[in-house]
Amino acid sequence: MAAGVLAAEGCAGGLVRATDGRVAIMGRVDRTDPSRVRVGYPGVTFRVRFEGPSLAARFSCTTGASRIAVLVDGGAPRVLQLAAGESEVPLAEGLGPGPHVVDVVHRTETWQGIVGVRGFVVGPGAKLLPSEPRPARRLLLVGDSVTCGEAIDRAPDCRDAHAAAVTGNGYLSYGMLLGRALGAEVHLVCYGGRGLVRDWRGKTNVLTGPQLFDAALPIDGHPVPWNHADYTPDVVIVSLGTNDFNLDLGPLPEREPFAAPSAPATPPRKSSSPKERSSTTRRIPLARRRPCSATTSPRRCAARVTPGCAPSLRPTTPGTTATRTPRAPSTKRWPATSSPSSAPPPAGSWAG
């Protein structure tokens, strides 16, 4: 039976491997196993264009906690939890004639489970279509759980004390929203609880920012290396350091580990385009933020942290409060088209 399915690869109906050129992949993945594409980072997106009534996918999952978002023809995302081990999951059914597009977006983080994508199953008489042109713009975001989209789906009062895998949402992370607004390809290189030189617990024997930057699959002890020649970003945004300065750990880290020189991952290259410019970001001190009120937007609100409420279920020191303010979940989807007063996103956008 398995041999018969594999023989149908590339034909009308049957299994089409995730490594097939007609399957477009956005984000860092591990391709060392020819039987599957492995995913750790959130935001990694598989896009399949096809004609047919249905589409399914074959996954493997190390934990049973991983979640994906499925978007059919640009519709609202549908969240699916993947079972541990091997599974075949229906993605779209009962579709009408004509071409269709299905996006599969990895919502959760590496530490919550590694997902393997074996391929996509099209129904009888169906066929895959060539992938669309890649977006002209490319973004790379390096960060921690904020960049990963942790707790985006948590209620504002933090009373829905679900596991982080439930409330994390890489699809609605700020990097993915920015990419959809600009019609750009996005790579999220992020890991919750990690900093530049240590993690939120003070450990230095784990992958931190510089090692994450060089990893396609960030597994502590044996990360899968990333080939930087595969993706040259136009803009790099780095948001790291919060976990290095966890006040619950006692003394703050010294300057030397941050200033120590390290070999570049790739040889430096000269800018070949005016748009390749470096940029910096500025944090607004808490003392300068406006207090919350009934008319204050949640995005501007600097409310006090409710005791015991944290953006994840990581334990805090007894008798203390969490050090990060939970973000109110967004219920709005980024518009697929821009407003009349702004330019439309470039062709080839990964907007869902």
Residue 74 domain-assigned (yes or no): yes
pLDDT, position 223: 95
Residue 27 domain-assigned (yes or no): yes
Determine the Cα–Cα distance for residues 218 and 89; give it in Å rounded to an integer: 26
Determine the Cα–Cα distance for residues 114 and 98; give it in Å rounded to an integer: 34
Determine the Cα–Cα distance for residues 346 and 301; give it in Å rounded to an integer: 33
Tell me the CA distances in angstroms from 4 to 1, 85, 90, 120, 241, one per residue in order.
5, 22, 20, 15, 52
Residue 65 domain-assigned (yes or no): yes
Residue 41 domain-assigned (yes or no): yes
Model pLDDT for residues 4-56, shown as the tens digit of each residue: 222 233 344 588 999 999 999 999 999 999 999 999 999 999 999 999 999 99
Residue 343 domain-assigned (yes or no): no
Residue 7 domain-assigned (yes or no): no
Q: Which two three-digit tokens encode residue 222?
A: 């044996």
| DSSP state letters, 118-167 | EEEEEPTT-EE-PPPPPPSEEEEEEESHHHHTTTTTS-TT------HHHH
pLDDT, position 350: 57
pLDDT, position 22: 95
pLDDT, position 126: 87
Model pLDDT for residues 171-207, shown as the tens digit of each residue: 999 999 999 999 999 999 999 999 999 999 999 999 9
Determine the Cα–Cα distance for residues 255 and 128; give it in Å rounded to an integer: 54
Domain that holds residue 55: 17-128
**pTM of the shown model:** 0.73
Angle at 318 between CA 316 and CA 320, to 5 degrees: 75
Residue 317 domain-assigned (yes or no): no
DSSP 199: B
- 240: exposed, middle or buried (Cβ count in 10 Å: 0-12, 13-18, 19+): buried
pLDDT, position 167: 85
| DSSP state letters, 76-108 | --EEEEPPSEEEEEEEE-S--SSEEEEEEEE-S
Residue 154 domain-assigned (yes or no): no
What is the end-to-end Cα distance of the chain in Å, rounded?
A: 36
pLDDT, position 161: 60
Residue numbers of the chain with a pLDDT score lower than 50: 1-12, 263-348, 351-352
Determine the Cα–Cα distance for residues 55 and 72; give it in Å rounded to an integer: 10
CATH code at position 106: 2.60.120.260
Number of structural domains in the chain:
1
